[in-house]
Amino acid sequence: MTNLLSIQNSLQLPHSGENKALDKVIRASLKRKGRIGLTAVEHEILPWNADLFFLDESNLFKRLDTQKQHAILTECNDFILSESYFIEKAGLAYCAKMILAGETTEIRQMYGLIASDESVHLQWLSPFVKEFLRITPQGKFIYSITKMIDECDANTLYYLVQTILEGWGIFYYKTLATTCQREDLQSVFLNIVKDEAIHHKTGVALFDPRKLNTHAERKIIDGIKAYIDALRVGTQDIVSCVEKHTGELSLTELISLFEDLQTEITSTIKLNVLKEIMHQPGMEHFINNLEEKRYFFPYSAKSCAEIYIQQRK
Ligand SMILES: [Fe+2]
Ligand SMILES: [Fe+2]
Q: Write out pLDDT tens, residues 227-243.
A: 999 999 999 999 999 99
Asked whether residue 31 is domain-assigned, the answer is no
The more confidently predicted of residues 2 and 181 is 181
pLDDT of residue 44: 78
Asked whether residue 285 is domain-assigned, the answer is yes
pLDDT of residue 299: 97
Ligand with smallest separation from the Cα of 111: 2
- Give 262's pLDDT tier (boundaries 50, 70, 90): very high
Ligand with smallest separation from the Cα of 122: 1
Instruction: Give start and end residues of each alpha helix (H) in the chain.
Output: 20-32, 59-63, 66-101, 105-125, 141-151, 154-157, 166-179, 183-206, 214-232, 236-246, 251-260, 263-278, 284-292, 301-311
Ligand with smallest separation from the Cα of 118: 1
CA of 125 to the centre of ligand 2 (A): 13
pLDDT of residue 1: 44
Ligand with smallest separation from the Cα of 110: 2
Asked whether residue 23 is domain-assigned, the answer is no
Rounded CA-CA distance 225/101 in Å is 25
pLDDT of residue 2: 44
pLDDT of residue 260: 97
CA of 250 to the centre of ligand 1 (A): 38
Domain span holding position 88: 49-311
What pLDDT digit, counting tens, does each position of 86-114 carry? 999 999 999 999 999 999 999 999 999 99
What pLDDT digit, counting tens, does each position of 284-298 carry? 999 999 999 999 999
Query: What residues flank ion ligand 2 with Cβ within 5 A?
Result: 166, 196, 199
Asked whether residue 147 is domain-assigned, the answer is yes
pLDDT of 265 above 60:
yes
Asked whether residue 183 is domain-assigned, the answer is yes
pLDDT of 3 above 60:
no
Asked whether residue 129 is domain-assigned, the answer is yes
pLDDT of 144 above 80:
yes
CA of 106 to the centre of ligand 2 (A): 18
pLDDT of residue 36: 83
Ligand with smallest separation from the Cα of 168: 2
pLDDT of residue 39: 62
Asked whether residue 266 is domain-assigned, the answer is yes
Asked whether residue 30 is domain-assigned, the answer is no
Ligand with smallest separation from the Cα of 162: 2
CA of 126 to the centre of ligand 1 (A): 13
Structural contact between residues 7 and 111, judged by C-beta atoms closer than 8 angstroms = no
CA of 244 to the centre of ligand 1 (A): 29
Rounded CA-CA distance 99/154 in Å is 10
Mean pLDDT of 7-11: 73
CA of 248 to the centre of ligand 1 (A): 35
Q: What is the mean pLDDT of the chain?
A: 92
- Give percent of the chain with pLDDT exceeding 90: 79
pLDDT of residue 7: 74
pLDDT of residue 204: 98
pLDDT of 18 above 90:
no
pLDDT of 181 above 60:
yes
- Give 12's pLDDT tier (boundaries 50, 70, 90): confident
CA neighbor of 149 nearest in space, from 219, 234, 212, 239 = 219
CA of 84 to the centre of ligand 1 (A): 9
Mean pLDDT of 191-220: 96
CA of 155 to the centre of ligand 1 (A): 20
Mean pLDDT of 269-284: 96
- Give 4's pLDDT tier (boundaries 50, 70, 90): low
Ligand with smallest separation from the Cα of 89: 1
Structural contact between residues 172 and 117, judged by C-beta atoms closer than 8 angstroms = no
DSSP 80-149: HHHHHHHHHHHHHHHHHHHHHH-SSHHHHHHHHHHHHHHHHHHHHHGGGS-GGGGTS--SSHHHHHHHHH
Full 3-state SS string of 17-28? CCCHHHHHHHHH
pLDDT of 9 above 80:
no
Structural contact between residues 159 and 152, judged by C-beta atoms closer than 8 angstroms = no
* Domains: count for the chain: 1
pLDDT of residue 42: 65
pLDDT of residue 40: 52
Rounded CA-CA distance 101/109 in Å is 12
CATH assignment of the domain containing 216: 1.20.1260
Ligand with smallest separation from the Cα of 98: 2
Mean pLDDT of 243-261: 97
pLDDT of residue 313: 64
Structural contact between residues 247 and 69, judged by C-beta atoms closer than 8 angstroms = no
